[in-house]
Amino acid sequence: MSARNSLAGRAALAVSAAVTAGALMAPASAAAHPHAPADGRHAPAQRAMDAAVEDGVPGVTGQATDAYGTWNGTSGVGDLTTGRPRGPRDHYRIGSVTKTFVATVLLQLAGEGELDLDDTVDHWLPGLVRGNGHDGRHITVRQLLNHTSGIYDYYADPDFATSFRLRDGFFEHRYDTWRPEQLVAVAMRHEPTSAEPGKTWHYSDTNYILAGMILEKATGHSYAHEVRKRIIKPLKLRETSVPRTGPHMPRPSSRAYSKLSDAATGPSYDVTEFNPSAAWTSGGMISDSADLNRFHEALLGGELLPERQLNEMKTTVAMSEEYPAAARYGLGIAERRLSCGRTVWGHHGGILGSTTESVATEDGRHALSFNFNGDWTGDSDAVIEAEFCESGRGTDGNG
C-alpha cells in the first residue's frame, strides 16, 4: 500500500507441509530456473531481473512495450515449494498502482462536473475527518490525490501494522474485513503530519481511502463498479480485477512471499491469499503486466482523460527527502527523471508479498510493468533504469 512498505495480508489457504510448519526456504536452484533469453533489445532489463533474483527475490515477471513490439521477461520461481518458474502471464496484487486507477476515475468525474478537485473532504464526508488536529473542512480532494493533505497514514499506526505485517498478527488477522470508516478512524487517533494542508507532501494511504469514499458518494456506486465501467471494460483489461474481501488470486498466478518481520533475513512465508479490504482503494487491485501497460498507454495517450484533467493529473509537487530528488508526485501518478535524463510516469505498488512497478514515457508509447513475488529485497529501480536508459533508446520520442 505505502510507497515503501508492504501491507500484510492473508496466508495460503492450502499449502505444503513446510508452510504449515511455518516457513518456506527457496530451493538452491531458484535463481537458475529458465527464463526469457537475456539477449536483444531488452537484455539490460532481463539482466536486472536476474540480478533481483540473485539478491533473493523468489521470482520476477514483466512486460515492456515500445515501437518495436512487446517483450516478456521472467526470472526465478513462482513457487518455492515446487520450483515452478514465474510465468509471463502471472496475475499479481498491484498495491498502490491502484491509486492511479482511483485518481483517474475522480478526474473523469471532475471533467463531467460531478465534483470539483477543490471541494473539501467535509463537503462529501461531513464530520468524518476530525480529531487530534485533523479537519476535513480545510482539506481538498486535490490534496488527497497529491498527498499534501497532512492526514496521518493509517498503515503507520503501530497497532495496525503489527496486526498485519508481523508473523503472529498476520496469521491471526489474515481474514479480517476492514470497513473504510474503520481505517480512517485509525488515522484520526494520531496528529496530522502537517499542520497546514497543501504545504507539505507526505505519503498517506488514508488519502486514497477517503478518495474512494468520495468517489462512491459522488456516483452512488461502488468504486469497483466505476473502475470496471470507466477503465477495465473500455480498455478490455480482462486480467484486471477489483476484489473487495475475496482472498484468492486468479489463475495463472505465482505464490507471494514475505519475511513477516522488519528484517530482510529469516524464513519466507507464503502470504498469497488474504482479505484485501485493509488496502481497498489505496492498494487492493489485481492485474498483470500486459494490462498495466495498456492502462498507462491509454492514460498517458489521452484515451481516458480530457486534456485539462490529464494536465491536472500531471501537475506535480516535490516529494519528501526520503524519495529521489528526481521524483515528483501528481494526482495519483509520479513523475521520475532517470539517470540518463529520460522521464517516466507511473506508480510503485507494495503490498504484502508483492512489489510492483508500472511506468511509461509521457506519450505512453514505451511502457514497462513488472512484479517481484517477494517484498523484502530486490532493486526495482535498477530494472526501470535498465529498460529506459539501456534498452530501446530513441523509440518513442522521449530520449
Active site residue 96: yes
Residue with cell 463531467: 112
Per annotation, catalytic residue among 2, 75, 96, 369:
96
**Residue pair 207/145 in contact by the 8 Å Cβ criterion:** yes
Mean pLDDT of all residues in 267-271? 96
CA R_g for the chain:
20
Question: In which domain, by residue range, is 157 found?
Answer: 17-390
pTM comes to 0.91
Does residue 20 carry a pLDDT above 90? no
pLDDT tens, residue by residue, 173-217: 999 999 999 999 999 999 999 989 999 999 999 999 999 999 999
Task: Give the integer Cα–Cα distance in Å for 236 and 226.
Answer: 14
Please give the single-letter amino acid code of residue 172: E
> Is 378 inside a domain boundary?
yes
> Is 123 inside a domain boundary?
yes
pLDDT tens, residue by residue, 146-158: 999 999 999 999 9
The confidence band for 82, taking pLDDT boundaries of 50, 70 and 90, is very high
Does residue 33 carry a pLDDT above 90? no
pLDDT attached to residue 38 = 52
- Average pLDDT over all residues of the chain: 89
Does residue 91 carry a pLDDT above 50? yes
pLDDT attached to residue 309 = 98
The alpha helices in 199-288, defined as continuous H runs, are 205-219, 223-227, 233-235, 280-283
Mean pLDDT of all residues in 370-392? 95
**Residue pair 326/336 in contact by the 8 Å Cβ criterion:** yes
pLDDT attached to residue 357 = 98
What's the distance, CA 98 to chain centroid?
6
Most confident residue range from 139-148, 157-166, 324-333: 139-148
> Is 198 inside a domain boundary?
yes
The tally of domains found in the chain comes to 1
In the numeric block, which cell numbers belong to residue 242? 477489483
Mean pLDDT of all residues in 150-168? 86
pLDDT tens, residue by residue, 56-68: 999 999 999 999 9
Beta strands in the chain (DSSP E): 59-66, 69-76, 92-93, 130-131, 134-135, 257-258, 269-270, 286-287, 317-318, 327-329, 334-337, 343-351, 354-360, 367-372
pLDDT attached to residue 262 = 77
CATH number at residue 167: 3.40.710.10
Does residue 336 carry a pLDDT above 60? yes
pLDDT tens, residue by residue, 4-18: 333 333 222 222 222
* Contacting residues for 82 by C-beta, under 8 A, at least 6 apart: none
pLDDT tens, residue by residue, 98-145: 999 999 999 999 999 999 999 999 999 999 999 999 999 999 999 999
Express as a percent the part of the chain with pLDDT over 90: 81
pLDDT attached to residue 116 = 98
Comparison of pLDDT for 395 and 365, the residue scoring more: 365
Handedness of CA 93, 36, 375, 364 (dihedral sign): negative
> Is 397 inside a domain boundary?
no
How, if at all, do strands 317-318 and 327-329 pair? Answer: antiparallel
pLDDT attached to residue 349 = 98
Torsion angle (degrees, nearest 10) of CA 294, 333, 365, 351: -50
pLDDT attached to residue 35 = 52
Does residue 258 carry a pLDDT above 80? yes
Please give the single-letter amino acid code of residue 179: R
pLDDT attached to residue 32 = 43
- Count each helix (H run) and each strand (E run) in the chain, helices first: 15, 14
Task: Give the integer Cα–Cα distance in Å for 224 and 249.
Answer: 17
pLDDT attached to residue 39 = 57
pLDDT tens, residue by residue, 218-246: 999 999 999 999 999 999 999 999 999 99
